[in-house]
Amino acid sequence: MAKYFVKKGIQLIIVTILISFFSFAVIYAAPGDISGMYLNEQMSDEEKEAIKENLGLNKSMPEQYWGWAKEVLKGDFGISLANHTSVSEQIIKRLPATLQLMGAALVLSVLLAIPLGLWSGYRKNTWIDNIISGLSYIGMSIPSFWLGMVLIIVFAAKLHILPSSGMHSVGNESFLDTVKHMIMPCITLSLSNLAVFIRYIRSNTIGQLGEEYVLAAKAKGTTGGKLLKRHILKNTLLPIITLLGMNLASIVCGSFIIESVFGWPGIGTLAMTAIGVRDYPVIMAYVMLSGIILVVGNFIADILYAFADPRIKREDMAND
Amino acid sequence: MKRRALALLCAGILAIGMLAGCGGNSDSKDSNAKTEESKTEKKSDGTFYVALNYMPTSLEPSTVSDDQTSLVRPIFEPLFVETKDGIEYYLADKVDISEDGKTYTIHLNEKANWSDGEPVTVDDILFTMEYAGRNSGGKSSYTTINRQDIVYTKKDDKTLEAVLPEPYATYTAAIGRMMIYPSHAFDNDYTKVEGSGYFNSTDIATSGAYTVSEINDDSIVYEARDDYYRGTPSVKKVVMKTIGSGSTKQVAFENGEISYMRITTPEELKKYEGDDNYNISSFSEARLNYLQINPYGPAKDKLTEDARKAIFLAINADEIIDTAYGSDELATVANSLLTPDQSLYNKDCKGYEQDLEEAKKLAKSSGIEGTTLKYVYNADRPNMEEVATVLQQQLAEIGVTLDVEGLDSNAFFQRFFAIMFQSGEEDQWDLGTNGWDSERGSSLGQAYSYINNSSKAWGFSDEAGQLAAKVNAAADKDEAQQLANDLQDLTLSEYWEYPLTYTNYVMVSQKNVTGLDAVPVVPEFVDYLKIKVD
């Protein structure tokens, strides 16, 4: 097990370095930079050079990258070039809003996917299965920004029962008010995950239903509901652990599109604004956060998988 | 049974969610009836609601972006605003300009004060200039003209003298729109501003009609000051809140969540014009949208004077208005590189008129026929994509193909202003559209720096540059006008910039919101005292 941790740790470091370097290279190569906010026609060439030097833009890409990486190794993600505020502070300030939204969406997906997936698999090829599967395919295909807009039109513009955007009503930061604002973005975000989870759970349910232990349970008189709940459910959740691990990054880093459509003040909109002005300290901090959590999420998923499925642990021990 | 019911319920929720959009556009009467219904249920609290595109991280009085300027207008005022008809004063109450045009004496309003009780003084102006030049050795557009220093002298706490190295009419607008920082909050040390977090708190000393009352996750609340020197605004509260992108703003407006929004398309104008639930406000944006030919582009050798003339004569500006803007309510055809909001504008300047036959002849004789030119536009600006489409079709008539590329603002500016930014991208475009905003007042405005550009980035001749400098230096108004008339004709005769449109700033507001067009200056709103919410 210790070897496993060390191996994963080394992988994490290598992947982090590669993510940071290639992301930096992409930003560097992209047209435009932050200097547009500072230069004007009145300046002499010397003044323009001085500003570019201050912003670090006159250095080569490896030099700029190393200048940034050195500070990051000390735990300093630097100051935003656009608004001169600490990058870490800005991210920490926006993090709760994103965690709230994305976490709620993920929980909603899982809570709905389990019963629907189980039932769909248990009733394979019946009309219930066909409806749920059909709706899953539609759910996977629908563009999230379109769905978001449709929900806004229906529930805000036409029915006036939900607010169109934002996180709170002004002057009202009650839990209920926040929930009202969260309903539409949560539904939008949860739909695609829901559709994917349903498919996985359905597929695993069908697979498990063919196992001998299920036959044995049926022979002992176990009813359908108890069979699903007590025997099949745990086995079908294993791939969901992997999916949840992979989704951990999105919980923290948010959704650019949904936060923009719904005006949700999370990390996604911060990153979008930073990309627009090429504020590379903020962009890099976001990319690093996303990359590290993705790798850590997969790592956690691997660990949980090993605990959830003793066969994995025994295989590892046998290989050792 | 229970599980079946639960599964059916969940499936039903999914189905409703996915089929909800099939309702499509509902009847507008129903929509209006519901809007009216919801409005009568919600009585107005007299608050003015403004949509933000994104939640800002600072309330610093910066004029770097229009969004930031609009955001801080309620709390930070300019010294004055120059219009075609004269100066409208805010923190300053007098500006004297010497006969030779080189000495400016700016007097601050005796009553102008910060919200923490401190008076607004000349120290605040000098502090703001120092801060603006912090990254470039003290140099900024406030402190230099043609790279020569302006000499500032503090006469007393309320009087500042500025001696220019040469007469420079555009200085008036530049100094007027400055939004000053409270120097006393930083012990008059500009190095203390960055990283202080001062402009992220509700304790900011403000010079405008409001103070910062709340900074929430997705909104900022301003409350009216009782001690504001120009009087107490009738709108006691201004709320700036983030609204989602795209059509969400329209939904929020029709839901009554925001007080107004800008209209940029003929469809929106038609929708709201005939609706009694809303008011339409419109004023000249003092903006010129123009088409620029790049003297350094990949086809620079082919873009001779005849070729440029061929391109300009092929353009039908009326068709651009009809297609991109729908009518002259959103924009009118431009005839000069100055706007009607500038006192030096010549309404008799002939502009360009389409002559397709001549254009075809010139295209053939100059060799530009059959050429593909790279065209760039700013995709973040309204109507630019539509303009590009129309131009593409019009130039195809003379055998010129446009390879059109839309860029976001940052990438566009790096390419379009490649010479200024020294980005090395000047050889990546041949034609591009851009706009000059805030073109109002008694000077040439931005036209001056383009025509008299030392790096020749925009192609104008030395003669045109010298003439522009004469206009900017002329102290006599009649002389300046005559020279400006000559300049407007001369620049058009060189076929480098085609003035396309003068745009209007059109807004739709809730029925109980008025006064939005009282001061026709963008970014909005310079004077919150004029806004009323009944």
- Per-residue three-class SS string for B267-289: HHHHHHHCCCCEEEEEEEEEEEE
Rounded to whole angstroms, the Cα distance separating A89 from A76 reads: 11
Contact B410 A36 (CB under 8 A): yes
Confidence of residue A317 (pLDDT cuts 50, 70, 90): low
With CA atoms as reference, the chain A residue closest to B41 would be A160
- Report pTM: 0.83
Higher per-residue confidence, B316 vs A211: B316
Q: Please, which residues 17-46 of chain B have a Cβ atom closer than 8 Å to chain A?
A: 17-18, 20-21, 23, 26, 31, 34, 38
Contact A48 B422 (CB under 8 A): yes
Three-state SS at A282? helix
The ipTM, to two decimals, is 0.78
- The pLDDT assigned to B20 comes to 41
- The pLDDT assigned to B280 comes to 95
Give A13 to chain B, closest Cα distance, Å. Answer: 31
Query: HSE of B409 in the Cβ direction (CA atoms, 13 Å)?
Result: 16
* From A46-60, B46-60, B319-333, the region with the lowest mean pLDDT: A46-60
Q: First and final CA of chain A: distance in angstroms? A: 9
Confidence of residue B121 (pLDDT cuts 50, 70, 90): very high
Rounded to whole angstroms, the Cα distance separating B429 from B372 reads: 11
Candidate from A112, A145, A165 with C-beta closest to B10: A112
Average pLDDT, chain A: 82
- The pLDDT assigned to A313 comes to 57
Chain B contact set for A83 (CB, 8 A): 56-58, 60
Chain A contact set for B241 (CB, 8 A): 166, 170, 263
Chain B contact set for A86 (CB, 8 A): 195
Contact A32 B411 (CB under 8 A): yes
Rounded to whole angstroms, the Cα distance separating B328 from B330 reads: 5
Higher per-residue confidence, A126 vs A26: A126
Best mutation target, A39, A85, A100, A198, to test chain B (most B CBs within 10 A) = A85
The phi, psi pair for B375, rounded to 5°, reads -120, 130
Contact A194 B11 (CB under 8 A): no
Contact A33 B410 (CB under 8 A): yes
Rounded to whole angstroms, the Cα distance separating B60 from B51 reads: 18
B487-524 CB burial, b ≥16 within 10 A, e <16? bbebbbebbbbbbbbbbbbbbbbbeebbbbbbbbbbbb
Q: Which two tokens stand for residue A288?
A: 């690093």
Candidate from B7, B144, B246 with C-beta closest to A116: B7
- The pLDDT assigned to A19 comes to 85
**Concatenated DSSP letters of B470-488:** HHHH--SHHHHHHHHHHHH
Query: In sequence order, which ranges of chain A are alpha helices (DSSP H)?
Result: 2-29, 45-55, 61-73, 87-122, 127-141, 144-151, 175-209, 212-219, 224-226, 233-236, 238-253, 256-261, 267-277, 280-308, 310-319
Three-state SS at B393? helix
Contact B413 A32 (CB under 8 A): yes
Average pLDDT, chain B: 89
Contact B194 A84 (CB under 8 A): yes
B57 touches chain A (CB under 8 A): yes
Confidence of residue A239 (pLDDT cuts 50, 70, 90): confident
Candidate from A150, A157, A167 with C-beta closest to B218: A167
Contact A152 B17 (CB under 8 A): no
- B12 contacts: CB under 8 Å, gap ≥ 6: none
Q: Per residue in B252-289, pLDDT tens? A: 999 899 999 999 999 999 999 989 999 999 999 999 99
Query: In sequence order, which ranges of B42-85 are alpha helices (DSSP H)?
Result: 66-72
A19: nearest Cα among A80, A69, A60 = A69
Rounded to whole angstroms, the Cα distance separating B79 from B108 reads: 8
* From A194-203, A223-232, B146-155, B286-295, the region with the lowest mean pLDDT: A223-232
Confidence of residue A63 (pLDDT cuts 50, 70, 90): confident
Rounded to whole angstroms, the Cα distance separating A211 from A204 reads: 11
- The pLDDT assigned to A39 comes to 66
Give B8 to chain A, closest Cα distance, Å. Answer: 8
With CA atoms as reference, the chain A residue closest to B411 would be A32
Label the pairing between strands B86-89 and B278-293: unpaired
- The pLDDT assigned to B29 comes to 37
Q: Per residue in A183-197, pLDDT tens? A: 999 999 998 889 888
Mean of pLDDT values over B361-371: 96
For the beta carbon of residue A146, count every other beta carbon within 10 angstroms: 12
Chain A contact set for B135 (CB, 8 A): 38, 50-51, 54-55
For the beta carbon of residue B41, count every other beta carbon within 10 angstroms: 9
B193-204 CB burial, b ≥16 within 10 A, e <16? bbeeebbbeeeb
Best mutation target, A160, A198, A232, to test chain B (most B CBs within 10 A) = A160
Q: Please, which residues 427-456 of chain B have a Cβ atom closer than 8 Å to chain A?
A: 449, 453
Residue B402, pLDDT above cutoff 70: yes
Contact B18 A139 (CB under 8 A): yes
Q: Which two tokens stand for residue B334?
A: 């431009």
Residue B34, pLDDT above cutoff 90: no
Higher per-residue confidence, B16 vs B37: B16
Rounded to whole angstroms, the Cα distance separating B398 from B362 reads: 9
Q: Per residue in B78-93, pLDDT tens? A: 999 988 788 999 999 9
Three-state SS at B254? helix
Candidate from A84, A153, A277 with C-beta closest to B251: A153
Residue A228, pLDDT above cutoff 80: no
Chain B contact set for A38 (CB, 8 A): 135
Three-state SS at A79? strand
Contact A165 B58 (CB under 8 A): no
Mean of pLDDT values over A93-119: 90
Count Cβ–Cβ pairs < 8 Å, chain A vs chain B.
216
Higher per-residue confidence, A179 vs B420: A179
Confidence of residue A281 (pLDDT cuts 50, 70, 90): confident
Residue A64, pLDDT above cutoff 70: yes
Instruction: Let me know: does B172 contact B80? Beta carbons within 8 Å.
Output: no
B388 touches chain A (CB under 8 A): no
Higher per-residue confidence, A124 vs A235: A124
In one-letter notation, the amino acid at residue A174 is S
With CA atoms as reference, the chain B residue closest to A258 would be B244
**Concatenated DSSP letters of A159-227:** S--S-SS-SSBTTB--HHHHHHHHHHHHHHHHHHHHHHHHHHHHHHHHHHHTSHHHHHHHHTT--HHHI
Percent of chain B with pLDDT over 90: 69
Q: First and final CA of chain B: distance in angstroms? A: 57
Q: Please, which residues 206-265 of chain B have a Cβ atom closer than 8 Å to chain A?
A: 214, 216-219, 221, 239, 241-248, 251-252, 254-255, 257
Give A123 to chain B, closest Cα distance, Å. Answer: 10
Rounded to whole angstroms, the Cα distance separating B164 from B179 reads: 20
Give B128 to chain A, closest Cα distance, Å. Answer: 15
With CA atoms as reference, the chain B residue closest to A263 would be B244
Beta bridge partners of B436: B288
Higher per-residue confidence, B155 vs A247: B155
With CA atoms as reference, the chain A residue closest to B452 would be A41
Rounded to whole angstroms, the Cα distance separating A212 from A214 reads: 5
